[in-house]
Amino acid sequence: MVRGKTQMKRIENASSRQVTFSKRRSGLLKKAFELSVLCDAEVALIIFSPSGRLYEFSSSSQMNNTIERYQKNAKTLASLRITEEVYVQQKLKDEAADSYKKLEILEDAKRKLLGESIDSCSVAELVQIEDQLEKSLSKIRARKNTLFQEQIHQLKQQEVKLMKVNTDLKEKCEMLAMSSIPISQPLSPDMEVETGLFIGPPKTKAAHV
């Protein structure tokens, strides 16, 4: 029979809770003993029952020796954690200060490129700023020329398309004009065709008396 999964919550029934405690306690003590023997590990286990009764297991001769060892290692670990936290905090402060300095330098360079705060600049600094501006202008002009060339290329493509459309429309108009000329009366290239629209009953010739 398959056992159902036990829900991890407090058992409300006191009798069932006591039975479960006894079984789990015995199993836990057994596992602690097996771990100490099989792995040659120093194991200490302390259990207080709901009524306050103490159950313990120690692989060493005295439980106090294991507890003292634990406390000593716990203090060392706590000290290491504090040291690590202090180191991390200091590192973050240093990085923030370094970033602030870099930001100040960038802001100062930006103001100088805009022609501000240059009264205290030396000739060498002004020459350097001028060179930077010339390089920037060269890049801007190059990019502008590239955009102009792309626009010219697009306009030429549109021109070719429009010329083709115009040619097609011209050919269609010529074909329509040719189709309206009677076959029995071919026209010379120089002949003009007159067309007229008349609305009303057809005219009849007068009868001769």
Identify the band that residue 61 occupies on the pLDDT scale cut at 50, 70 and 90. Answer: confident
The amino acid present at 189, given as its one-letter code, is P
CA dist., res. 135 & res. 130, Å (int): 9
pTM comes to 0.39
Higher pLDDT, 79 or 25: 25
Q: Go through the chain and tell me how many residues it has.
A: 209
Residue 209 has pLDDT above 50, yes or no: no
Residue 178 has pLDDT above 80, yes or no: yes
Average pLDDT, the chain: 84
Residue 19 belongs to what H/E stretch? helix 14-39
Q: Report the pLDDT value the prediction gives residue 78, as an integer from 0 to 100.
A: 85
Report the pLDDT averaged over residues 4-11.
79
Comparing CA positions, the residue from 60, 82, 63 lying closest to residue 71 is 63
Question: Is the pLDDT assigned to residue 36 strictly greater than 50?
Answer: yes
Show Cβ contacts of residue 112 under 8 Å, excluding neighbours closer than 6 positions. 118, 121, 125, 129
Q: Is the pLDDT of residue 185 over 80?
A: no
Cα–chain-centroid distance for residue 81?
Answer: 34
Contact 20, 50 (CB under 8 A): no
Token digits for 65? Answer: 């020796």
202's tokens: 């057809």
Which class does domain 14-59 fall in? alpha beta
pLDDT mean over 194-205? 52
Q: Is the pLDDT score of 8 beyond 90?
A: no
Instruction: Show me where the domains of the chain are located.
Output: 14-59, 62-120, 125-176
